[in-house]
Amino acid sequence: MVNLLKDYPIIVEFPVAWGEMDAFNHVNNVVYYRYFENARLAYFHKVKMMEVMEQTGVGPILSKTQCRYLHQLTYPDTLSVGAKVSHMASERFTMQYAIASQTSGQIAAEGEGLLVSFDYRKNEKTPIPDIVRQNIIDLENGRLTDPLDS
């Protein structure tokens, strides 16, 4: 899995739950977005975005998202989901995701999300906070680590 997701600084693992399967006997398409969301939240916590949001009211809001399904997922399986930021502008950034199946050893889906920096107190978009922007840059360049990661 490591080689499949080597370009993703955040990787989270999830077991496929039996209840995520649908009548066609594979993981329902909507569940893939939940996997993306969980990886996205792990990314946000790593770059301290949620802490900044608690202090300032400025945080992310999902503007659009998409998924390209490559292979079916079924129970039982364990998934590794990668998240990275591929582009940043003043008030928005693009996240990319990949879901790797440990059973097949392949990427099962790829996704993308456009996120906008939003001031929830003023109800308007706003520039990405400087500390969050720098943390994203540092994480993407392998320079953001926690003391517990060592």
- Joined together, the tokens standing for residue 143 give 């320079």
Q: What pLDDT, in 10s, does the model give residues 31-59?
A: 999 999 999 999 999 999 999 999 999 99
- Looking at the 3D structure of the chain, how many domains does it have? 1
CB 41 within 8 A of CB 49: no
pLDDT at 148 over 50: no
User: Domain limits at 62?
Assistant: 10-142
User: What is the rounded distance in angstroms from the CA atom of residue 94 to the CA atom of residue 89?
Assistant: 9
Report the CATH number that the domain containing residue 24 is assigned in CATH: 3.10.129.10
Q: Is residue 77 assigned to a domain?
A: yes
- Position 150 scores a pLDDT of 39
Q: Taking the model in full, what pTM does it have?
A: 0.93
